Structure 1
């Protein structure tokens, strides 16, 4: 999973350096908010859909996307922690394959 995320981030960096960015939003559609962009981006990266991830990257600035991804990660860890009856730190470490403290 992390390899795919790194690949998506590299693709985003190369697109940014080539001049693609927020100005390339979908014509005629309401602009997606940063949480929509983050949800699409993360789901696309998880599903190895680089084209969809790149599309979501164009919807908002890189900073907004990074904030949205962090917000999504926090909400996901909290939801899993509640569901499992565990501490959020334990769940986060488990998801990353880190040893328990």
Structure 2
């Protein structure tokens, strides 16, 4: 698997798994990452296509900033502020975000 998506929680991961039509390594930070854990993760995934999709709230912004420092080449994906959480974002909206980032998604998640 060449693609990695970093999310905050297990429910975010499960939602993405239900949309994706290709194998993607989805890593949960569980909201926080210590510096050494973050450094370890950065080394582990530095040669892969990394995407960051975190909640549109204060905690998500803080985590995104940390990840941006350690993973400067990562592509940032954003959910709408109206939904706040990745897990609460409608499937169709998330599917379109992933499609725009060149992921293969299940047709049924794109609506009609």
Bigger proportion of residues as strand = 2
Give the TM-score, by structure 1 length.
Answer: 0.32
Larger radius of gyration: 1
TM-score by length of 2: 0.29
> Which structure has more helix as a fraction of its residues?
1
**Structure having greater relative contact order (Cα 8 Å, sep ≥ 6):** 2
